[in-house]
């Protein structure tokens, strides 16, 4: 009885296995390379129930970050302002604006506005806002020039590498404490800033953790 398959057919299983291995390796490499936050979250800008412009409130009107994100210098978390905070101004300013109807409804009903969270670290990461801002780390280092945003987007990767780069080079980021919330502040001289920042790191005994337990608790 003649052979149905040619001799070359014996190589087919090996070729199939080889192709599957190549595809699997490519898939793993692609996920490994593109899954970090700089690819999955940077640029993320969800639609919010109410359009809030940091450019108007912070950049033009000069509103301090701590007015809305109260206790950020005392708490581990940056809170989202409630409708009462908004109505402190908007009971007089643009009080009949249709765009602010959800704020007025929230204020009257007591039901919080359902803001969409933009910045979110994994549950296994520990981050304390007060520790950072009280040691000269400005909002812009993690959130970008948020004072220029008409809508908030995810500007920085907030990846482990991003955090470690800062922890390893803290003397390149530590501002004077009175400039932490001045989001437009620029040092007159980069060299002078680095020298003064290094002195602040030494004087304030800043020693950011670089071990796993520092952020994974």
- For residue range 137-179, list pLDDT tens digits in order: 999 999 999 999 999 999 999 999 999 999 999 999 999 999 9
Task: Look at residue 183 and tell me if it is in a domain.
Answer: yes
Q: Determine the average pLDDT of the residues in 12-28.
A: 85
pLDDT exceeds cutoff 60 at 1: no
How many Cα atoms occupy the beta-carbon half-sphere of 121 within 13 Å?
A: 18
What pTM was computed for the model?
A: 0.79
For residues 144 and 34, give the distance between their C-alpha atoms in angstroms, rounded to a whole number.
Answer: 21
How many residues belong to the chain? 217
Task: Look at residue 159 and tell me if it is in a domain.
Answer: yes
Task: Look at residue 129 and tell me if it is in a domain.
Answer: yes
Token pair, residue 113, equals 């506005």
pLDDT tens figures, 46-89: 999 999 999 999 999 999 999 999 999 999 988 999 999 999 99
Using an 8 Å Cβ cutoff, are 43 and 149 in contact? no
Task: Look at residue 184 and tell me if it is in a domain.
Answer: yes
Local structure of residue 77 (DSSP, 8 states): S
Of the candidates 95, 68, 35, the residue with the CA atom closest to the CA atom of residue 152: 68
Distances (CA, A) of 217 to 10, 51, 122, 152, 214: 54, 36, 12, 29, 7
The residue range of the domain holding 52 is: 1-59+72-78+119-217
Task: Look at residue 24 and tell me if it is in a domain.
Answer: yes
**pLDDT-derived band at 38, boundaries 50, 70, 90:** low
Task: Look at residue 92 and tell me if it is in a domain.
Answer: no
Task: Look at residue 148 and tell me if it is in a domain.
Answer: yes
Task: Look at residue 11 and tell me if it is in a domain.
Answer: yes
pLDDT exceeds cutoff 80 at 16: yes
pLDDT exceeds cutoff 90 at 202: yes
DSSP 161-205: HHHHHHHHTGGGT---GGGTT-TT---S-HHHHHHHHHHHHHHTT
pLDDT exceeds cutoff 90 at 29: no
pLDDT tens figures, 92-142: 999 999 999 999 999 999 999 999 999 988 889 999 999 999 999 999 999
Cα radius of gyration (the chain): 25
Number of structural domains (the chain) is 1
pLDDT exceeds cutoff 60 at 34: no
């Amino acid at each position: 009885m003649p052979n149905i398959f040619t001799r070359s057919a014996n190589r087919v299983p090996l070729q199939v296995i080889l192709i599957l291995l190549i595809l699997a390796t490519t898939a793993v490499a692609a996920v490994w390379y593109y899954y970090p936050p700089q690819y999955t979250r940077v640029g993320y800008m969800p639609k919010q129930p109410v359009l809030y412009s940091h450019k108007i409130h912070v950049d033009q009107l000069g509103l301090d970050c701590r007015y809305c994100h109260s206790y950020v210098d005392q708490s581990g978390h940056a809170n989202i302002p409630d409708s009462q905070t908004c109505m402190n101004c908007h009971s007089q300013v643009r009080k009949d604006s249709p765009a602010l109807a959800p704020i007025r409804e929230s204020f009257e009903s007591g039901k919080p506005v359902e803001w969409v969270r933009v910045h979110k670290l994994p549950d296994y990461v520990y981050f304390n806002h007060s520790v950072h801002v009280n040691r000269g780390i400005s909002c812009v280092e993690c959130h970008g020039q948020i004072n220029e945003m008409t809508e908030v987007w995810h500007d920085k990767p907030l990846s482990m590498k991003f955090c470690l780069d800062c922890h390893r080079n803290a003397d390149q980021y530590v501002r004077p404490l009175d400039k932490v919330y001045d989001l437009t502040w620029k040092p007159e001289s980069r060299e002078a800033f680095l020298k003064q920042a290094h002195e602040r790191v030494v004087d304030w005994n800043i020693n950011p953790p670089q071990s796993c337990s520092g952020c994974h608790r």
